[in-house]
């Protein structure tokens, strides 16, 4: 009995010593890619205590592991890899390792780590909302939308690239529009940044939203939806501009003026007739 419990105790001690050595650094949790317009960060939790830190390793699928200098034995929970994922058409894997604090070393050969899902920038980065200008021709027959391509976090030869530079022919814009007064939506797809919409009812107010559309991408074909912009309402007839009261007053005034004119002419005519009669009566008298 005694020997057995001793053995068990020894076993326990052994178990704890090895377990605490490899388990002293907690695993990173919720390792997630957050990527907009090719600005790509790996995020995770929890915030580390003073006893450990995190190191990020990434690689092109089946390639060599690399590290970003800012994400080695760091106490942060985010790692900006925008500049590190140089081949945007490639797919990347990444791991967050739990390691000793900066400056400390450890005898461990393998650190606890958590893997991130596979990330392919070209297909997976979210596309931000575009800005656009709205112009209605003077004859009100043509509405034109001028879309600005959102900028990316990518640079080439010192120039910041926009999403048209990256996706070229594959980039389209999806316009969602409706009459301001109705909820029925219509769609229009454009390969150009200058989008002419004809066939809208002239003078009516329409409201527009635009978003990037990348049909070649699987799950993330649509970018973020832009702000809504509405064209002006030019159909305002006289009844819309002036209130009913004003119109009634105007009609009353017009009627009064007409009435006055009629009255004046009637009175005038009577006087003239009288005068003529008097004249006719008077003239023969004079002739006589
Ligand atoms: C991970 O995500 C879960 C669910 O969203 C959350 O409850 C948990 O607190 C997160 N853990 C860390 C360390 O952020
Ligand atoms: C469109 O309708 C909203 C309310 O539905 C209104 O506030 C807005 O002024 C309208 N825009 C135009 C240009 O008529």
For the chain, what are the domain ranges? 23-121, 131-240
Q: What is each CA distance from 14 to 17, 23, 80, 108, 127, in whole angstroms?
A: 5, 14, 40, 17, 53
Determine the Cα–Cα distance for residues 268 and 195; give it in Å rounded to an integer.
67
Report whether 176 contacts 187 (CB < 8 A). yes
Per-residue model confidence (pLDDT) at position 186: 95
Better pLDDT: 233 or 44: 44
**117 CA distance to ligand 1 centroid (A)?**
16
Q: Report the chain's terminal Cα–Cα distance, integer Å.
A: 171
Which tens digit of pLDDT belongs to each residue from 212-246?
A: 999 999 889 999 999 999 999 877 655 555 666 67
Give the torsion sign (CA, 227, 232, 235, 240).
Answer: positive
Per CATH, the number for 23-121 is: 2.60.40.10
pLDDT classification of 282: cutoffs 50, 70, 90: low
131-240 homologous superfamily: Immunoglobulins (2.60.40.10)
Is 180 near ligand 2, meaning CB less than 6 Å away? yes
Which tens digit of pLDDT belongs to each residue from 174-188?
A: 999 999 989 899 999
Is 30 near ligand 1, meaning CB less than 6 Å away? yes
Tell me how long the chain is: 288
Domains 23-121 and 131-240 alike in fold: yes
pTM tops 0.85 = no
């Amino acid at each position: 009995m005694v020997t057995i419990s001793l053995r068990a105790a020894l076993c326990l001690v052994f178990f704890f010593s090895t377990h605490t050595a490899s388990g002293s650094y907690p695993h990173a949790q919720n390792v997630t890619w957050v990527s907009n317009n090719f600005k790509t960060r790996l995020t995770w939790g929890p915030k580390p205590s003073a006893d450990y830190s995190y190191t990020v390793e990434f690689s092109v699928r089946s390639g060599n592991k690399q590290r970003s200098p800012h994400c080695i034995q760091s106490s942060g929970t985010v790692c900006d890899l925008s500049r590190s994922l140089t081949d945007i058409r490639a797919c990347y894997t990444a791991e967050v390792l739990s390691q000793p604090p900066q400056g400390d070393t450890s005898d461990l050969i393998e650190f606890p780590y958590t893997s991130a899902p596979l990330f392919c920038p070209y297909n997976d980065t979210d596309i931000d909302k575009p800005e656009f200008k709205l112009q209605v021709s003077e004859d009100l027959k043509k509405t034109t939308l001028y879309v600005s391509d959102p900028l990316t976090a990518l640079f080439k030869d010192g120039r910041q690239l926009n999403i048209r530079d990256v996706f070229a022919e594959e980039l389209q814009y999806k316009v969602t529009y409706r009459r301001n007064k109705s909820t029925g939506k219509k769609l229009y797809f454009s390969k150009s940044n200058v989008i002419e919409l004809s066939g809208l009812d002239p003078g009516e107010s329409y409201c527009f939203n635009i978003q990037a559309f990348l049909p070649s991408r699987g799950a993330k074909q649509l970018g973020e939806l832009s702000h809504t912009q509405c064209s002006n309402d030019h159909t305002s007839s006289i009844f819309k501009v002036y209130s009913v009261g004003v119109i009634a007053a105007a009609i009353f005034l017009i009627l009064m003026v007409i009435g006055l004119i009629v009255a004046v002419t009637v009175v005038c005519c009577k006087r003239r007739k009288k005068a003529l009669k008097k004249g006719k009566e008077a003239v023969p008298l004079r002739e006589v």
